[in-house]
Amino acid sequence: MLDFRTHDDSMGRPTPTIELSDSRHVVALVAGVSKMAAVPAGAQRVLISATADVWVQYGTAAALPTGDILTGLAPELNPSARMIRGISSLGLASATDCMVNLCFYG
């Protein structure tokens, strides 16, 4: 699995470009139905994007919040990039049908 690295431009300045992931996944979500996505072996980071709002939970199923969650264990809404070292699965849920793209890096 490729590492998550940025690259310098021709003048040696860091740029926001990164390597292409060699472990790219798409998950189709149905409105209100939680789905689990396995984290590939060796993955330490994930980039997440979706065609609608998505709730993400780490290592357990995600549920659509319907009120306050004050335990510190609420799912995250639309995280973009996360360290997932030691996490074996991602729980995903959305209030609408959508597609979720997961790009994993070492």
pLDDT in tens, 28-82: 999 999 999 999 999 999 999 999 999 999 999 999 999 999 999 999 999 999 9
Tell me the three state secondary structure of residue 53. Answer: coil
Contact (Cβ atoms closer than 8 angstroms) between residue 98 and residue 29? yes
What's the number of domains the chain is made of?
A: 1
pLDDT higher at 48 or 7: 48
Q: Is residue 81 part of a domain?
A: yes
The candidate with the shortest Cα–Cα distance to 19, out of 78, 86, 103, is: 103
Alpha-carbon span 33 to 64, nearest angstrom: 9
CATH of residue 44: 2.60.120
Q: Is residue 3 part of a domain?
A: no
Alpha-carbon span 9 to 6, nearest angstrom: 10
HSE-CB at 78 with a 13 A cutoff on CA atoms is 6
Q: Is residue 93 part of a domain?
A: yes
Q: Is residue 15 part of a domain?
A: no
Structural domain including 55 reads 22-105
Q: Which residues pair with 99 in a beta bridge?
A: 28
pLDDT in tens, 16-43: 778 889 999 999 999 999 999 999 999 9
**Which pTM does this prediction carry?**
0.87
Q: Is residue 10 part of a domain?
A: no
Compute CA distances 9 → 5, 19, 51, 100, whole Å: 13, 14, 31, 30
> Residue 95 pLDDT > 70, yes or no?
yes
Alpha-carbon span 43 to 32, nearest angstrom: 27
